[in-house]
Chain A
Amino acid sequence: MKQGAVFMDRVLPWLTCGLMLIALAFVFLYVPNERIQGPAQRIFYFHLPAAWNTFLGFFIVAGASAAFLWQGDRFSDLLAQAAAEVGMVFCTMVIITGSIWARPIWGVWWTWDPRLTMVVILWMIYAAYILLRVLAGDNELIARYAAVLGIVGVLDIPLLYIAVKLWRGIHPKVERMAPEMIWTLLVCSAAFLCLFAWLIWLRLRSLILRDEVAALRRQVVAVS
């Protein structure tokens, strides 16, 4: 645990920065233009890793929620909360980068494609989760309610996927990528994964600190 914290504090920020710089260099200097879409396609290297992290966020929330309901430890609860908040940031990023890409390629900022619909619904589930935390206050009961929402939310994903898929579809499928493109995608994914982990860690630490401050304040009140 202690060593993990040192790694998260000392190594991860630099790793993230370094990888992000390399990723930028790959995206703008190394990878060739896509044949049909031109330079607009380069945003894909940020879009797809962000989308992966959105899903990853959901699974972390659900996993941590299940652990919390099972064991009732504060750490899992805080981890679920941190993952939900960071997951929502990435989900927003997916929507924004997607819109920027769709404008020149599809000619519109938004369209009701299944994956777009799905992402926007995931965004709403994240929003509901965070709203529950914010509006209902912070206590043991609400933590358990949020955990229930986290688990039900992840169970909803497969159904949602099937439903929107049957509904309609124009999203581009990646068919064959040049090796340069695959390398760029890998580097970008690694960079985004590090960023994701680092942000969750920062948020988690601030939540733990908030708990400690609250405990200290209670002590002070009790003494005085």
Chain B
Amino acid sequence: MWALLWKDVLLEIRTKERVSSLFVLALLIVLIFVVALGPEQVQGPEIGAAVLWITLVFSGMLGLQRAFLIEQERGCFSGLLLCPIEPGTLFLAKLVGNILFLMLVESVAAPVTLVLLKLPWSWSLLALPLVLFLGIVGFSALGTLFAALTVRTRAREILLPVMLLPLLIPLLIAAVHVTSAMLAGMVWTGVWLRVLLAFDVIFVVTGWLIFPQVVQE
């Protein structure tokens, strides 16, 4: 698994195309929000949390398919499947890769977003990486599964968001609530964090169990 992960990471270090393009895209989405709604409207913790998560979901979605597209285009995926490893392990490697890249993008994009939206600093923001991490894990779990699934179909660009977005709604509701509470300066976690955690656990396990069915030839 670590070898597989290292392969993806190495590829990314050499090309830097995924992280950099996602980062630019994330900033563009924030910019579009500000332009479309006017800087006076895009303020406050609720809007801030919403912008943060919409940015993450839409930029992340484009990154998901890249993880499989490279191998799909050059026919390397069959080669990976021929390796003497469990397909579930392949899923975990791709999942950890996606989580790493998204965390990397957000480690820069999230602070920049907060600054652009003029959100005030508070100590509760120290917990923001944790919330981002939990959200990204859930997003990547379903995202990796469905990216692997759609990458070999026709109309994959439209099918991935159509399948992924409705399933992500519980995650998004929970994540946005925790984040907006945090931005408002409350260290209020409670039940929403548990929803996030449950989402992560359920879909990482489901993905791991069901992935072999997806990649089977």
Interface window among A88-96, A126-134, A183-191 = A126-134
Interface window among A39-47, A53-61, A141-149 = A141-149
Q: Kindly identify which residue among A121, A135, A151, A156 contacts B155, using a CB–CB cutoff of 8 Å.
A: A135
The answer, yes or no, to whether B15 is at the interface (CB within 8 Å) is no
Q: Kindly identify which residue among B152, B166, B174, B206 contacts A163, using a CB–CB cutoff of 8 Å.
A: B174
Contact B203 A152 (CB under 8 A): yes
Chain B positions 158-182 with a Cβ under 8 Å from a chain A Cβ: 158-159, 162-163, 165-167, 169-171, 173-174
Q: Kindly identify which residue among A136, A148, A159, A163 contacts B202, using a CB–CB cutoff of 8 Å.
A: A159
The answer, yes or no, to whether A167 is at the interface (CB within 8 Å) is yes
* Nearest CB in chain A to that of B207: its residue: A152
* Nearest CB in chain B to that of A125: its residue: B166
Chain B positions 183-203 with a Cβ under 8 Å from a chain A Cβ: 191-192, 195, 198-199, 202-203
User: Hey, which chain B residues are within 8 Å of A155, CB to CB?
Assistant: 202-203, 206
User: Hey, which chain A residues are within 8 Å of B210, CB to CB?
Assistant: 69, 148, 151-152
Alpha-carbon separation in the docked complex, A131 to B152 (Å): 15
Contact B149 A128 (CB under 8 A): no
Alpha-carbon separation in the docked complex, A124 to B216 (Å): 27
Contact A128 B173 (CB under 8 A): no
The answer, yes or no, to whether A137 is at the interface (CB within 8 Å) is yes
Contact B153 A136 (CB under 8 A): yes
The answer, yes or no, to whether A162 is at the interface (CB within 8 Å) is yes
Given A151-B210, A159-B195, A128 and B166 contact (CB-CB distance below 8 Å): yes
Q: Smallest CB–CB gap between A88 and chain B, Å?
A: 13
The answer, yes or no, to whether B145 is at the interface (CB within 8 Å) is yes
Contact A167 B173 (CB under 8 A): yes
The answer, yes or no, to whether A160 is at the interface (CB within 8 Å) is yes
Q: Smallest CB–CB gap between B151 and chain A, Å?
A: 11
The answer, yes or no, to whether B92 is at the interface (CB within 8 Å) is no
The answer, yes or no, to whether B154 is at the interface (CB within 8 Å) is yes
Contact A166 B163 (CB under 8 A): no
Contact B149 A145 (CB under 8 A): yes
Contact A127 B216 (CB under 8 A): no
Alpha-carbon separation in the docked complex, A136 to B171 (Å): 27
The answer, yes or no, to whether B117 is at the interface (CB within 8 Å) is no
User: Hey, which chain A residues are within 8 Å of B142, CB to CB?
Assistant: 152
Contact A163 B170 (CB under 8 A): yes
Given A136-B159, A148-B210, A160-B169, A166 and B198 contact (CB-CB distance below 8 Å): no
The answer, yes or no, to whether A63 is at the interface (CB within 8 Å) is no
User: Hey, which chain B residues are within 8 Å of A69, CB to CB?
Assistant: 210, 213
User: Hey, which chain B residues are within 8 Å of A166, CB to CB?
Assistant: 173, 191-192, 195
Contact B155 A160 (CB under 8 A): no
Q: Kindly identify which residue among A127, A131, A153, A162 contacts B195, using a CB–CB cutoff of 8 Å.
A: A162
Question: Which A-B residue pairs are the 6 nearest by beta carbons?
Answer: A163-B170, A124-B166, A136-B153, A159-B170, A135-B155, A163-B173
10 extra interface residue pairs, beta carbon distance < 8 Å, beyond A141-B153, A148-B149: A124-B165, A125-B167, A127-B162, A128-B163, A132-B162, A135-B154, A155-B202, A159-B170, A160-B170, A164-B170
11 A-B pairs within 8 Å (CB atoms) are namely: A69-B213, A124-B165, A128-B159, A135-B154, A135-B158, A144-B216, A149-B163, A151-B210, A152-B167, A152-B206, A166-B192
